């Protein structure tokens, strides 16, 4: 190799960037081939790590986390209407919304699904309602209750109340259920 001549593209780039004292091994013409092979090996390793079998294990653990999730009454209504095998219509249809509410109430009343909620009374200041702890709602409490599907979907927290009776004096708000029990009662499509 003649001293002023550069045989490798890497050395030419280094010289163009202003690096003048280039080692002899970087000026060798075979270094370009080695760099290309090295880049391919690194990219194949990266692709295997990102899209390989470990990704499948990570994805399956996400499903397990979803099963232990707690969902609100509105999410339950949407799941039942859209994602379950039971789904029979659209929630914008008032008749179907009543059917969804009755199906949920019957599942609560039969004990297939355990509901948790915060006690509600209109006399309580609203800022204190969310500080009350959730407690398990007795299945017998659900007998003849009306699930407000429209309010459940369109509101959050204390606006979403299932009342004790027609006088609307007491009841439960911020009602939640366990996603695993929902999937067990109404399997996904």
**How do residues 61-104 score in pLDDT, each as one tens digit?**
444 445 568 888 878 888 887 777 777 767 677 778 788 888 88
Asked whether residue 128 falls in the same domain as residue 158, the answer is: yes
Is the pTM of the predicted complex or chain greater than 0.85?
A: no
Total structural domains within the chain = 2
Residue 2 lies in a domain: no
- Are both 156 and 81 inside the same structural domain? yes
Q: What pLDDT, in 10s, does the model give residues 117-155?
A: 888 777 777 667 677 788 898 998 888 777 777 666 665
For helices 9-16 and 31-51, give the axis angle rounded to 10 degrees.
90
The boundaries of the domain holding residue 37 are 9-51
Whether residues 104 and 22 fall in one domain: no
Residues 6 or more apart whose CB falls under 8 angstroms from that of 101 comprise 77, 146, 147, 148, 149
Q: Are residues 99 and 160 in the same domain?
A: yes
Q: How many helices (H) and strands (E) does the chain have?
A: 9, 5
Same domain? 116 vs 162: yes
């Amino acid at each position: 190799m003649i001293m002023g001549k550069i045989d490798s593209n890497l050395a030419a780039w280094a010289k163009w960037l202003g690096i003048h004292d280039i080692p002899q091994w970087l000026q060798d013409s075979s270094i370009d081939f080695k760099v290309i092979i090295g880049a391919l090996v690194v990219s194949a390793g990266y692709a295997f790590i990102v899209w390989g079998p470990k990704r499948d294990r990570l994805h399956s653990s996400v499903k397990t986390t979803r099963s232990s999730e707690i969902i609100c009454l509105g999410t339950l209504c949407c799941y039942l209407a859209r994602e379950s095998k039971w789904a029979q219509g659209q929630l914008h249809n008032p008749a179907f919304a009543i059917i969804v509410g009755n199906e949920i109430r019957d599942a609560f009343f039969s004990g297939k699904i355990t509901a948790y909620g915060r006690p509600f009374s209109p006399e309580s200041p609203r800022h204190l309602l969310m500080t009350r702890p959730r407690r398990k709602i007795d299945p017998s409490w659900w007998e003849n209750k009306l699930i407000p599907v429209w309010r459940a979907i369109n509101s959050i927290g204390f606006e979403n109340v299932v009342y004790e009776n027609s006088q609307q004096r007491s009841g439960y708000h911020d009602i939640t259920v366990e996603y695993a029990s929902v999937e067990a009662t109404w399997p996904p499509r």
